[in-house]
Amino acid sequence: LSNNLFLGSHMDNVYFLGSLLTYFSTGDLIWRIILFICDVVQNKKSRKLHFRIYCSGSFRYSVGILGCVITYYLSQGKTNNLLHLALNCILRGIIAAIILCLYQVWNEGCLLTSIRFIRRSHLDCGTGMAKNFYNGYLKIVLPPKEDGTKGIVERINDCESRENIEIPLKKLLLLLPRDLYITPLLSDVTDKILKITNIEKIERDRCGTTKRVYKNTLYKLYPKEYYVVAEAATPLLTWYEDFKHPDEMENLLAEEVYAKFCKTLENLITSSPELRDLIVLIPVPCKTSGEEVAKLLSDEVDKHLCSQIKSK
């Protein structure tokens, strides 16, 4: 009697496990068929090949597991429960398919993909963009060089003398637009910013190109009539141009790239004695108008002038 009870309890466990596997294998089959149908809608060629890729493994497991469960029912003489099992497979299989769908969306999400990439390579896109921008541009145009090439401060001073003007903030004001886009010239979207001229250019032999030219532009801000050397971070615009029509997941990735780019660039600059006093990073919120950009730039000049007064 005890042996029969022991076997009966174990058979119940086998039945439960077999039913559970059947439900999920049926759900997997439903999910794969949905993928196949979606693929056929998008690409009407090679249907047999796609169907075999999507469904061959699922059919094998589903039929195998279902065969084992049916064999168990027949061996126990429970043939009247087969219809009940079939209905359960369809209904609970649909639930399992939904679960698999949600898992698939999470598993293939760009954020998770980015996390996996970071863990493998220890370098994400935003960090790489910031380091390239720092080493390939800022370190070239901002500090003076041992070969006599002038830095940003010396070139601004020369511009003051040449144009007979005063530039209160002798630094590069670098805009970091959160929506990644910036117009070719800051003066293109508002009359509060006026392009004046380019300060003295830098020419350097680099990467096989002789006398490669690097320029920075002087603007005048209204209504306070401040003169500033300003521009936006080129890598952000490049990222924007790569994703002109981003979907929701790409928007999420763009936010992650922007945050990493700004954080890395700030860390690189603050840790560099030769650059930290030559540039100001100005984050620009999404949907900021041209007038608001002009105000952000003017506010930085005001902060500098106030700090000068306090220091005196």
Q: Is there a single domain that holds both residue 194 and residue 262?
A: yes
For residues 231 and 152, state if they share a domain.
Answer: yes
How many Cα atoms occupy the beta-carbon half-sphere of 130 within 13 Å?
A: 21
Q: In which band, very low, low, confident or very high, does the pLDDT at 49 lie, cut at 50, 70 and 90? A: very low
Q: Report the pLDDT averaged over residues 12-38.
A: 61
Q: Are residues 78 and 123 in the same domain?
A: no
Q: Are residues 174 and 53 in the same domain?
A: no
State how far Cα 244 lies from the chain centre.
14
Residue where one domain finishes, among candidates 108, 140, 166: 108
Question: What pLDDT digit, counting tens, does each position of 225-283 carry?
Answer: 999 999 999 999 988 887 765 554 456 677 878 888 999 999 999 999 999 999 999 99
In a shared domain, residues 67 and 174:
no
Domain boundary among the residues 108, 126, 143 is at 108
pLDDT digits (tens, 9 = 90+) for 58-95: 555 555 656 666 666 666 665 566 566 666 655 655 56
Cross-strand partners of 218? 197, 229
In this prediction, residue 123 has a pLDDT band, given cuts at 50, 70 and 90, of low
Q: Which of 83, 108, 133 represents a domain boundary (last residue)?
A: 108
Q: Which residue has the tokens 């030769």?
A: 274
288: pLDDT confidence band, cut at 50, 70 and 90?
Answer: confident
Same domain assignment for residues 133 and 265 = yes
The residue segments making up the domain with residue 72 are: 1-108
Q: In the chain, how many domains are there?
A: 2
Tens-digit pLDDT profile for residues 165-216: 999 999 999 999 998 888 899 999 899 999 999 999 998 888 888 888 999 9
Whether residue 252 is found in the same domain as residue 129: yes
* Residue 146: per-residue pLDDT: 84
Do residues 173 and 302 both lie within one domain?
A: yes
71, 179: one domain: no
* DSSP letter string, 75-118: HTT-GGGHHHHHHHHHHHHHHHHHHHHHHHHHHT-HHHHHHHHH
Q: How far apart are CA 248 and CA 44, in angstroms?
A: 27
Residue 126 is predicted with a pLDDT of: 85
Distance CA 248, CA 222 (A): 37
Average pLDDT of the chain is 76
Sole residue written with tokens 């919120």: 285
**Does 182 lie in the same domain as 225?**
yes
Domain CATH for 193: 3.40.50.12100
pLDDT, residue 111, reads: 46
Is the domain of 229 the same as that of 265? yes
In this structure, are residues 194 and 222 in contact, taking their beta carbons and an 8 Å threshold?
A: yes
Tell which wins on pLDDT, 248 or 22. Answer: 22
Asked if 161 and 263 sit in the same domain, the reply is yes
Looking at residue 197, its pLDDT comes to 94
